Chain A
Amino acid sequence: MKRYIIVWLGLLVIVALEVAVTLSHPPAGWLLAGLLVLALIEAGLALLYFMHLKYERRSLMWSVILAVMIAVILMDHFWLDAFRLLHQRLSAP
Chain B
Amino acid sequence: MSDVTRATAAELGRMIGAGEVSAEEVTRAHLDRIAAVDGQVHAFLHVDAEGAIAAARAVDSARARGEKLGPLAGVPIAIKDVIATKGVPTTCASKILEGWRPPYDATIMERINAAGMVMLGKTNMDEFAMGSSTEYSAYGPTRNPWDLGRIPGGSGGGSAAAVAAYEAPLAIGTDTGGSIRQPGAVTGTVGSKPTYGGTSRYGLVAFSSSLDTPGPVTRTVLDAALLHEVIGGHDPRDSTSIPAPLPAIVEAARLGATGDLSGVRIGLVREFAGEGAEPGVAAAVREAIEALVKLGAEVVEVSCPHFEYALPAYYLIAPSEASSNLARFDAVRYGLRVGDDGQHSLEEVMSLTREAGFGPEVKRRIMLGTYALSSGYYEAYYGQAQKVRTLITNDFKAAFEQVDVLVSPTTPFVAFPFGSRTSDPYQMYLADLYTIPTNLYGGPAISVPAGLSEGLPVGLQIMAPTMADDRMYRVAAALETVIPPLTPPALSGSNS
Do chains A and B stick together as partners? no
